């Protein structure tokens, strides 16, 4: 069977790597892919925002299955377009992906369906922001409603700062595009958890949970990034908590979207804050997380194709997802200057040719230039490892990353540390 993966980051490298292990898969294509994915799949230079070119690619290549990795192609309706043309595709429709692409939609949805989340106000003008802010204590959180690649959340220490952040979102100064809706949100504290469920329009089943490390600096300091590392362990959430999240968040999402006439199929990634008042949803994503996926897929024992098929065919309730016991981690090696300004095209040294079953170097932003592997993004590599416990997984991943170098390379040395303490 011929499979096409849309996207070109570490998450897609991990998806391609997992697909390679499936005996049912005979050929893998990836668009656009990257320097690492090119070793496992035929890469085709089609950008994940170009709907027309992606649809054309599928028409020409006729894959038996297309898997959509990032949010951008979901937001432009790739799943809808491919389904309309009779192609088999994994991921949510444009309407279902609104859970991620519109925070305004997600907050209203959560309120209507009794899903615990921070108190909020939705504002479309700066006057509304000023008025609503009087109801919130500080710190207060200001969020752009639309997709913002991790840059759309500002935690503000004063109302004035919140007003300024909102003004910059409306004017386009902050994100490059003018935001029409801004969400003001109560500030929550606690440990964060990324909970992943597989949904088939009717059922939600648990895949795994992980914890991302969003800030650039050790000890969770400095600006937010796309994610600098993640870990996943058996004990990251208690069985009772996992049951609760599945029932009171994921299944409610599936039921709620069903009743709206927009059944949710694909990956539901719930960002949760474990507050003293109980778990509260920070956000929904409607795709695999990056770098959580690199850590989680290392532990997946079930054929990943079975997950995609169950979601498309509405049979997730019959699927048992087996995860290897223990722990896994992913550590991002990023370009110097990321997440602000960074250079690309730096030669990468020290990648060992042989990847073991327990340590895999996934490529997030690399390309081949004149026969040489070079950096091509802010996040460059995701070094993932699995072991019977977290300490062991971290040791393996850090031993591997120590061999790798490129000009300006930076990584956090404290991934998973809070869990070790």
Stretch 186-205: interaction string toward ligand AMP, x if CB under 6 A: xxx---x-------------
When CB distances to ligand AMP are compared, the closest residue is 283
Site mask, ligand AMP, residues 146-165, x = CB under 6 A? -------x-x----------
Is residue 118 part of the contact set for ligand AMP (CB under 6 A)? yes
Is residue 214 at the binding interface for ligand AMP, with CB under 6 A as the rule?
A: yes
C-beta of residue 74 within 8 angstroms of C-beta of residue 6:
no
Q: List, in order, residues 6 or more apart from 50 with CB less than 8 Å away.
A: none
Given a contact cutoff of 8 angstroms between Cβ atoms, the answer to whether 25 and 3 are in contact is: yes
How far is C-alpha 121 from the chain's CA centre?
Answer: 25
Pick 228 or 360: Cβ nearer ligand GLY: 228
- Beta bridge partners of residue 362, listed in sequence order: 382
Q: Does 382 bind ligand AMP (CB under 6 A)?
A: no
Which CB sits closer to ligand GLY, 232 or 309?
A: 232
Q: What is the largest CA-CA distance in the chain?
A: 60
Our finding on whether 294 is near ligand GLY (CB under 6 A) is no
Ramachandran angles phi, psi of 123, nearest 5°: -125, 140
Which of ligand GLY, ligand AMP, none is residue 234 near (CB under 5 to 8 Å by kind)? none
Supply the minimum distance, in Å, between the C-beta of residue 76 and ligand AMP: 20
Select the residue interacting with ligand GLY from 227, 279, 339, 365 (CB under 6 A).
227
DSSP state of 9: S
Rounded Cα–Cα distance for residues 192 and 349 (Å): 34
- One residue of 179, 212, 294, 400 binding ligand GLY per CB under 6 A: 212
Q: Which residue has the tokens 């949805």?
A: 109
Name the region of 249 (left: φ>0; alpha: ψ -120 to 50; beta: rest).
Answer: alpha
For 139, the token pair is 């710190």
State yes or no: residue 12 binds ligand GLY (CB under 6 A): no
Binding site for ligand GLY (CB under 6 A): 212, 227, 285, 289-290, 292
Binding site for ligand AMP (CB under 6 A): 118, 141, 153, 155, 185-188, 192, 214, 271, 282-283
């Amino acid at each position: 069977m011929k499979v096409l993966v849309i996207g070109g980051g570490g998450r897609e490298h991990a998806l391609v790597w997992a697909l390679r292990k499936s005996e049912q898969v005979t050929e893998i294509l990836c668009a656009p892919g990257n320097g690492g994915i090119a070793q496992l799949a035929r890469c085709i230079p089609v950008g994940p925002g170009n709907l027309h070119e992606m649809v054309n690619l599928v028409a020409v290549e006729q894959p038996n299955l297309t898997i959509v990795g990032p949010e951008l192609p979901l937001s432009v309706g790739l799943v809808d377009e491919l389904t309309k043309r009779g192609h088999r595709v994994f991921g949510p429709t444009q309407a279902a992906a609104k859970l991620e692409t519109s925070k305004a939609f997600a907050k209203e949805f959560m309120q209507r369906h009794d899903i615990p989340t921070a108190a909020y106000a939705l504002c479309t003008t700066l006057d509304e922001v000023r008025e609503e802010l009087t109801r919130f204590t500080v710190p207060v959180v200001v969020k752009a409603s639309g997709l913002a690649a991790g840059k759309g959340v500002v935690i503000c220490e004063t109302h004035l700062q919140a007003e300024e952040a909102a003004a910059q979102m409306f004017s386009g100064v902050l994100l490059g595009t003018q935001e029409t809706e801004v969400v003001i949100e109560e500030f929550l504290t606690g440990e964060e958890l990324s909970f992943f469920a597989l949904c088939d329009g009717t059922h939600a089943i648990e895949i795994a949970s992980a914890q991302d490390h969003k800030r650039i600096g050790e000890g969770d300091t400095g600006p937010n990034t796309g994610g600098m590392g993640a870990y996943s362990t058996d004990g990251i959430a208690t069985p009772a908590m996992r049951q609760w999240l599945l029932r009171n968040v994921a299944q409610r999402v599936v039921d709620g979207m069903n009743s709206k006439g927009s059944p949710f199929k694909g990956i539901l990634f719930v960002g949760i804050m474990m507050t003293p008042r109980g778990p509260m949803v920070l956000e929904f994503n409607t795709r695999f997380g990056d770098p959580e996926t690199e850590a989680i897929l290392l532990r997946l024992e079930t054929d990943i194709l079975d997950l995609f098929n169950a979601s498309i065919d509405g049979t997730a309730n019959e699927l048992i997802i087996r995860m290897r016991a223990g722990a896994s981690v992913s550590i991002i090696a990023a370009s110097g200057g990321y997440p602000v300004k960074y250079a690309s095209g730096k030669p990468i040294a020290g990648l060992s040719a042989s990847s073991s079953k327990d340590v895999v170097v996934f490529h997030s932003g690399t390309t081949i230039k004149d026969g040489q592997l070079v950096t091509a993004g802010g996040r460059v590599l995701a070094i993932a490892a699995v072991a019977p416990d977290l300490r062991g997984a971290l040791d393996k991943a850090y031993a591997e990353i120590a061999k790798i170098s490129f000009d300006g390379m930076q990584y956090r040395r404290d991934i998973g540390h809070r869990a070790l303490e």
